[in-house]
Amino acid sequence: MRMADLIENKKQGGFHEASEIRFIIQGCTTGEIPDYQLAAWLMAVWFRGLSSAETVTLTLAMADSGTQLDLSMIDGVKVDKHSTGGVADTTTLIVAPLVAAAGVKVAKMSGRGLGFTGGTIDKLESIPGFRTSLTAAQFTAQVQRVGMAVMGQTADLAPADGKLYALRDVTATVDSIPLIAASVMSKKIAAGADKILLDVKYGSGAFMKTVSDAQALARVMVDIGTGAGRETAAVISSMEEPLGTAIGNALEVAEAIDVLSGSGDARLTDFCVLLAAKLLRMAEPKLQLPEAMARSRNLLDSGAGLAKFQEFVAAQGGDARVVQERELLGSASRSLELRAEQKGYIVRMDSSDLGRAAILLGAGRAKKGDAIDLTAGIKLHRRCGDYVGGGDLLATLFFGETVEPAEAKRLIRKATHLAAEPQPVVALIAGTMDAAGW
């Protein structure tokens, strides 16, 4: 079997047999297939796609490419929540502590930033001392003891995905439904959780640009999870505007702490309460959604979620004082206020342009292996639906000494669309899905 032949076959729209997909993933894992051939295959898949059978085979082969975590020794139901990626998406840092505070075990494996979307691991590493490299034994022990743990993808857990994930980031093949589905679900299966909630994003700041594409991705991932014996459900949510008001790693950690402290952005807070409630329902099927919502809100209002976050940070070596002392997260050496040049109602805030602006400021990666500035980013002071007058503060930019912010400023202005009259704000949630359908 030759990789060049498999690339040619897929380029022509052909079907891969299961043995061929396993050959590709084995060669990816061992290094026998070079990056340039894997990159060519990824592009062929982007153009030609994969069938349902090919996608399932790819997912399971990626999950089987290394060790799989055995969480059976942990008491109770183990849940995981995953977002397909967005701008200012800090939900993991909020939802996981809320759910863990309710006594439901959260076992999560996360990644780094991909394209213009931030990664949970990068965000957590902005906390001084925080360790994201855990052994399987450390991970499972912490989930049992603390109720939650978040670890970075290790070399022996779905290693094929780790390599393909990095290559997709630099070959413009991120936004492929089968590749996204296989990447997400291979990690979820390998990470061992019993039940999985997916937050599938659509819009300008997501890999899926339309609701229908997000629905298609959700359907594939729910089917993969169900077929692998893991109860899987999905929420379809909008990324037409940033989810929160902070874009950038340390800034997003601070915003997550604000939400858990009860003083965060209302839109982000309400969404996190909903996601937490859905996870509580998955762990306890007899629980009705209104009761689950009330329980989730109480965990937030009582401070139980914040206390669990602090315990989680300390358990992974981080300086838990960041909860009270945000300055421990560090601060960028330079900042700049961006003010409105015109007046009107904000009718659109293009998430992709805002995410790219954050990359230019140093908060994200333009190519594989780039270093990032954990303190860089953007703080938004206005949202869709808000009225701004000339000179009103739109955003604050944070960046390092060597960064020239002119292009980032241009992108932020380009992203912010004004109109003389207000327009309806796009609903955050477009639907939900489980094994039974919508």
Task: Catalogue the active-site residues.
Answer: 82, 161, 168, 183, 187
Residues 385, 386, 387: CA angle, nearest 5 degrees: 120
Would the CA dihedral through 118, 260, 214, 428 be positive or negative?
A: negative
Distance CA 142, CA 414 (A): 45
Token output for 213: 């594409």
- C-alpha 192: how far from chain center: 18
Identity at 375, one-letter amino acid code: T
Residue in this structure with the two tokens 């009860």, named with its chain if needed: 262
What is the number of helices (H) and of strands (E) in the chain? 16, 13
Distance CA 218, CA 198 (A): 8
Contact criterion met (CB below 8 Å) for 347 and 419: yes
> Which candidate, 187, 184, 191, 181, places its Cα nearest to that of 148?
191
Residue in this structure with the two tokens 């915003």, named with its chain if needed: 255
Give the count of alpha carbons within 13 A of 226, CB side only.
Answer: 14
Distance CA 377, CA 359 (A): 8
Phi and psi at residue 122, to the nearest 5°: -60, -40
Distance CA 136, CA 142 (A): 10
CA distances from 251 to 110, 266, 327, 330 (A): 19, 17, 11, 10
Classify strands 377-380 and 231-238 as parallel, antiparallel or unpaired: unpaired
Residues 6+ apart with CB under 8 A from 238: 201, 202, 203, 426, 427, 428, 429, 430
